[in-house]
Structure 1
């Protein structure tokens, strides 16, 4: 499945360096026709507890138009919640630019 819109949990917009449950900001990219940052979305948790189910629902509402989320860490319960809502979850600690290049390459391979 080719990804079209994705979110990165990042403190600086350069690296995927934030735990999903602690992320205050998600950087949203449209992949097609070429990767571009479309917005930064603030995420205000309802509690400070990362694994609070109310935070999962708020995170989903923040990211529901995205097909995938990339974070440095994602707890199992949060990942399961998002996957059930049809959002793919990836754990990476890399530059956003490098992840975007890999996605573009994968999308090309899927189209062939």
Structure 2
């Protein structure tokens, strides 16, 4: 199971810049199912810099890779307050999706082992959850493959996702949002 976070004002769409996000929703995602497990609220932050209003075209997804990793000593200066609290809240997440993420925050997220993913504004969260579910089952997203490998290296059973699916795992019935997701390309039909 991977924890995935989304910068969202409405818990339905990714519609906020990472640094300016006042709310993150976190889902536990396994093949075929995602459960809302947390919502973090943050103080309003004023955005600055030349890319503060930058948005990706509709349908675009950008996943920063190793080329964005921090150089030695680059993160030695204290990070901005607005990012520290968010990094602490997201520390157990494999990835965070946002409508935009500044270079400094990308480097801090990657240094914390959290994959930043930038998507077009108002991208539906359930579509992204389906994408992650499908990647957990079939592969296809390199960051999901890496996160799954780290998860398994942490002592988790390698067949855990398959076993959960066979057992018909549906998560808790405590009122949290639960989405049944795709696990194969046959589900697209």
TM-score range, shorter chain: 0.7 to 0.9
Question: Is 1:97 matched with 2:95?
Answer: no
* TM-score, length basis structure 2: 0.52
Cα-Cα RMSD: 2.1
Deviation of the 1:32 alpha carbon? 2.4
Q: Distance in 1 between matches of 2:124 and 2:92?
A: 23
Aligned to 2:104: 77
Q: Distance in 2 between matches of 1:57 and 1:4?
A: 22
Q: Distance in 2 between matches of 1:68 and 1:50?
A: 24
Q: Distance in 1 between matches of 2:111 and 2:34?
A: 26
Query: Which has the larger helix fraction?
Result: 1
Deviation of the 1:40 alpha carbon? 1.1
Aligned to 1:15: 13
Larger radius of gyration: 2
- Structure 2: gaps of 5 or more residues: 50-78, 140-160, 162-189
**Structure 1 residues 5-38: Cα deviation after superposition (integer angstroms, max 9, x where no partner):** 0100011111101110110000110002620111
Aligned to 2:29: 31
* TM-score, length basis structure 1: 0.85
Deviation of the 1:109 alpha carbon? 1.3
Aligned to 2:2: 4
**Structure 1 residues 54-101: Cα deviation after superposition (integer angstroms, max 9, x where no partner):** 222221111111111000000111011110110000001210010011
Q: Distance in 2 between matches of 1:50 and 1:39?
A: 28
Question: How many aligned residue pairs are there?
Answer: 108
- Structure 1: gaps of 5 or more residues: none
